[in-house]
A and B are shown apart, each in its own frame.
Chain A
Amino acid sequence: MTNIGEVLRLERLCVEYDGDHVLEDVDLTITAGEFVAVLGPNGSGKTTMVRAALGLQQFDHGRVFLFGTPLQRFREWRRVALVPQRLPGASSIPVSVWESVLSGLISPRRRWRPFSREEKAAATQALHDVGLWDRRHDRLDALSGGQQRRALVARALAPSPDLLVMDEPTAGVDAEHVARLTDVLSGLSARGTTIIVITHELTGIAHLVTRAIVLDPLARTSVAFDGPPPLPSSITDGVHHHDGPDEHAPSAIGLEP
């Protein structure tokens, strides 16, 4: 049954690596306009869950729907953008910041057509939004780690996606640019863009989060908490006691009660 405004639905999703359960029976539906933080200790399956949701990771059981369409039949990829932690190919041949942002607009649906004026304007705006317009001619690998992350955010912003998935978008980004990114994300969220952020540090963007999903690797089902912040103390106290203190615990990132 498809809900109106449904963006992502996972049904009993299970992922195993060599017999080990990484994700167990994940059931959740994310609807349009939600700002979701995916939290959990290292190894809890945060990135695996999101990769499986985008078809980048094979799963053993369960079903995935994007915008109400089964993942296998989903073709409207222009509506989805991903911000990875880094670009592996950016360090071999020089790739300019401008090229990396424009690459977010590449689509197999229009191979012949060069980038339109509107698309170039969107890329320009995205670079202004993350404060990298002046560095557009520079090699991506010549930027600092935080600047590279901002360039990847600009790449994801350029196509104006309906679903924006970000893996640690603020790691290594200085406070000034986290604030700038927060403004951009706030504007996107207000316009109805669904945002999923996998993160260890919500500093600066915690107030935008409308829903937190906490994964626990040792629970019977992987999702230990799914709801609006603040997180209940049973979660902030309990999830991380399996392997001692964890600086990445939800209690350390601003969603505690």
Chain B
Amino acid sequence: MTALLDFDFMRRALVAAALVGLIAPLIGVFLVQRRLALLGDGMGHVALTGVGLAFLLGTAPIPTAMATAVAGAFLIEFIRYRSRTAGDVALALLFYGGIAGGVMLASLAPGRASSSLNAYLFGSLSTVAEADLLALGVLCLVVVAVVAVLGREMFSVSLDPDLAAVQGIRVRAMSTLMAVLAAVVVVVGMRVVGLLLVSAIMIVPVAAAQQVTRSFRGTAILAIVIGLAASLAGLVGSFYVEVPPGPTIVLVALAGFAVMAMLAVPIRRRRREPA
């Protein structure tokens, strides 16, 4: 572990992984509640177009991917509300358009842009630059602050949009906000976990936690613990096994899901027993 911390790139990657592990399940818990588990995937694909665009224009990938993903968030909410297109079809349109746009733009970019696309698809230990960490930290703070202030309204909208509307909550605004937050998480996670798998860190820890919890709050807290543990353990594992961090992190999270699923049966049995 000491050897691992001797490397600057590894220290930066660990901080970035911790940030992803913290905020991804925090937003994922709302997405799962709204049955929009694949929304993060859609955002990841759209962000890929942003990365391709950054290669083509020679701009910084994080702000370009952020702008594209946020635009995608508004677009998907617009499609869901204004057209007769179902939510899953709207997501499918984003999937296809995002990945096709990303690969196309990267191919048109000068140099070896399309080969470096792999690092953004599956994550890389060496792509987190010093300047990136500050941007990622600020984005995480924004996400946590928004959830701290608006989390109860987001919960209400996730539980039942009609009831939320009767409480005076602006349901469409909250819904769009949640999509934008998912877009932010995707961009924060794209360096370490990769755009194709970052959504898994939003969803898998939540799916694992809800096997054993009885409340929304409990699920959110346990999912963050699992997400944090999976991100850090997966990153360390990928360093030693010399594989991309994204798949390793996701496989560790899936192992966490399996453990929780096995624990669920005795825990539920114990709860049913009279005290």
Q: Which residues of A contact B (CB under 8 A)?
A: 51, 54-56, 75, 77-78, 80-82, 84, 87-90, 92-96, 98-100, 103-104, 106-109, 111-112, 137-139, 142
- Shortest Cβ distance from B269 into chain A, in angstroms? 14
B155 near A103 with CB under 8 A, answer yes
Whole-angstrom distance between the alpha carbons of A139 and B218 in the complex?
Answer: 11
B162 near A93 with CB under 8 A, answer no
Which residues in B have their C-beta under 8 angstroms from that of A51?
162
- Shortest Cβ distance from B261 into chain A, in angstroms? 15
B217 at the interface (CB under 8 A from A): yes
Q: Which residues of B contact A (CB under 8 A)?
A: 29, 32-35, 149-150, 152-153, 155-156, 158-160, 162-170, 206, 210, 213-219
- Count chain B CB atoms within 10 A of each CB in A51, A54, A94, A139 and give the residue with the most: A94
Which residues in B have their C-beta under 8 angstroms from that of A137?
214-215
A56 near B168 with CB under 8 A, answer no
In chain A, what residue has the closest Cβ to B206? A93
Which residues in B have their C-beta under 8 angstroms from that of A104?
167
Contact A111-B149, Cβ < 8 Å, known A89-B158, A94-B210: yes
Report which of B156, B162, B219 forms a contact with A103, defined as CB distance below 8 A: B156
Q: DSSP class of B's interface residues: helix, strand, loop or mixed?
A: helix
Contact A112-B155, Cβ < 8 Å, known A88-B160, A92-B32, A106-B169: no
Contact A103-B168, Cβ < 8 Å, known A89-B33, A94-B215, A139-B214: no
Whole-angstrom distance between the alpha carbons of A81 and B215 in the complex?
Answer: 23
Contact A93-B166, Cβ < 8 Å, known A103-B156, A103-B159: no
B215 near A96 with CB under 8 A, answer yes
Which residues in B have their C-beta under 8 angstroms from that of A89?
33-35, 158-160
Report which of B159, B164, B210, B219 forms a contact with A100, defined as CB distance below 8 A: B159
B156 near A106 with CB under 8 A, answer yes
Which residues in B have their C-beta under 8 angstroms from that of A75?
168
Report which of B163, B168, B214, B218 forms a contact with A82, defined as CB distance below 8 A: B163
B165 near A95 with CB under 8 A, answer no
- Count chain A CB atoms within 10 A of each CB in B35, B150, B153, B162 and give the residue with the most: B162
In chain B, what residue has the closest Cβ to A81? B166
In chain A, what residue has the closest Cβ to B169? A108
Report which of A56, A95, A142 forms a contact with B159, defined as CB distance below 8 A: A95
A109 near B168 with CB under 8 A, answer yes
- Shortest Cβ distance from A119 into chain B, in angstroms? 12
B166 near A111 with CB under 8 A, answer no
Contact A84-B162, Cβ < 8 Å, known A77-B167, A95-B215, A99-B217: yes
